[in-house]
């Protein structure tokens, strides 16, 4: 398992930012493993991701020197961040995010995420699954994860969300993944998890929003279909986009063919988005994202 820290930051662009951050890390004794940055020249913004080892330096297979003091670095970095107007987050790989999966009766996305989690591709804990349908029960049992059944109607939406929020708080959830959860979350619910809910939409957004995008794509006669993973905001299907992918189709393909091919795209874009979020590779600004390699 990795023993690293990741610093994500954004601020107004100016000369010397990389040198300031790298210099402080050097002074604190950090062994930088990865560093990347991006400038949005139109908005004059700077973005940076730095990952470094928290273990002592390794020489000849043996650990030499004391471990990196993360709290000391945080204390030293805070005044610099304030001076430069930085928005920043500092995390350690030891703090594994706790993820809740929401799903309905389509199970291809939740099945893919659970397989990747069990295979070690997703560095997180998954303490529960919430669903408004019972189809996920046997799959959850196979992976040893409890399922909370929360049926939803228009009349009971407020009570259902209150129960869901109670469960999420009880399990200390950091990230919600909507793995083809076919319910619209209220603005109040979404507001509890800023940049903390990832959805997959079965269309290449911003085209074909709503509940039946494959039908709309077929009626329009498009030659490409796609899928999109994005953070959830109060506006339906309009949050910052994390990942997209497409597949070519033809006039011979019917709606059923689009649905079948689209499910592969949905699995891929959702798993990538979740992995990048867990690896602390995403910065949101405005209604856009920077996704570091």
Domains of the chain: 4-92 (3.30.70.260), 98-291 (3.40.50.170)
Write a three-state SS string for 59-111.
Answer: ECCEEECCCCCHHHHHHHHHHHHHHCCCEEEEEECCCCCEEEEEECCCCHHHH
Q: Give percent of the chain above pLDDT 90.
A: 87
- 221-261 pLDDT per residue, tens: 999 999 999 999 999 889 999 999 999 999 999 999 999 99
- 21-44 pLDDT per residue, tens: 999 999 999 999 999 999 999 999
Q: Is 237 a catalytic residue?
A: yes
- Residue showing tokens 């349908």: 133
The confidence score (pLDDT) of residue 66 equals 79
Q: Looking at 144-254, list the stretches that DSSP marks H as alpha helix, in order from N- to C-terminal side.
A: 157-170, 187-191, 213-220
C-alpha of 25 from chain center = 27
| Confidence grade of residue 62 (pLDDT, cut at 50, 70, 90) | very low
Half-sphere exposure of 181 (CA within 13 A, CB side): 26
The confidence score (pLDDT) of residue 270 equals 98
| Confidence grade of residue 263 (pLDDT, cut at 50, 70, 90) | very high
| Confidence grade of residue 53 (pLDDT, cut at 50, 70, 90) | very high
Burial of 192 (0-12, 13-18, 19+ CB in 10 A): middle
Task: Catalytic residue, from 36, 42, 237, 279: name it.
Answer: 237
| Confidence grade of residue 61 (pLDDT, cut at 50, 70, 90) | very low
pTM for this model (two decimals): 0.93
The confidence score (pLDDT) of residue 237 equals 87
Average pLDDT, the chain: 93
Q: Is the pLDDT confidence value at 57 over 70? A: no
The confidence score (pLDDT) of residue 65 equals 63
The confidence score (pLDDT) of residue 205 equals 86
- Neighbouring CB atoms inside 10 A of 102's CB total 24
Which of residues 7 and 286 earns the better pLDDT score? Answer: 7
Query: What letters, b where the CB count within 10 A reaches 16 and e where it falls short, cover 25-57?
Result: beeebbbeeebebeeeeeeebbbbbbbbbbeee
């Amino acid at each position: 398992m990795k023993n690293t820290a990741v610093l994500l930051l954004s601020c107004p662009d100016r000369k010397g930012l990389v040198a300031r951050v790298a210099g402080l890390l050097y002074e604190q004794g950090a062994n930088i493993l990865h560093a990347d940055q991006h400038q949005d020249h139109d908005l004059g913004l700077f973005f940076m991701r730095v990952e470094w080892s928290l273990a002592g330096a390794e020489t000849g297979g043996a650990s030499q020197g004391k471990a990196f003091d993360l709290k000391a670095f945080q204390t030293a970095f805070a005044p610099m961040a304030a001076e430069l107007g930085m928005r920043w987050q500092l995390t350690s790989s030891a703090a594994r995010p706790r993820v809740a999966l929401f799903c309905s009766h389509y199970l291809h996305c939740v099945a893919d995420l659970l397989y990747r989690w069990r295979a070690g591709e997703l560095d997180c804990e998954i303490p529960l699954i919430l669903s408004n349908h019972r189809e996920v029960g046997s799959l959850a049992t196979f992976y040893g994860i409890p399922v909370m059944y929360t049926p939803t109607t228009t009349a009971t939406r407020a009570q259902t969300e209150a129960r869901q929020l109670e469960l999420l708080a009880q399990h200390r959830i950091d990230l919600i993944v909507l793995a083809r959860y076919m319910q619209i979350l209220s603005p109040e619910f979404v507001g509890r998890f800023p940049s903390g809910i990832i959805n997959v939409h079965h269309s290449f957004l911003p085209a074909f929003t709503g509940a039946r995008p494959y039908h709309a794509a077929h009626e329009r006669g498009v030659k490409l279909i796609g899928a999109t993973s994005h953070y959830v905001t109060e506006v339906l299907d309009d949050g910052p986009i994390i990942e997209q992918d497409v597949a070519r189709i033809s006039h011979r393909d019917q709606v059923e063919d689009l649905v079948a091919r689209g499910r592969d795209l949905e699995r891929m874009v959702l798993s990538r988005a979740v992995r990048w979020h867990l690896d602390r590779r995403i910065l949101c600004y405005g209604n856009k994202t920077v996704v570091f390699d």
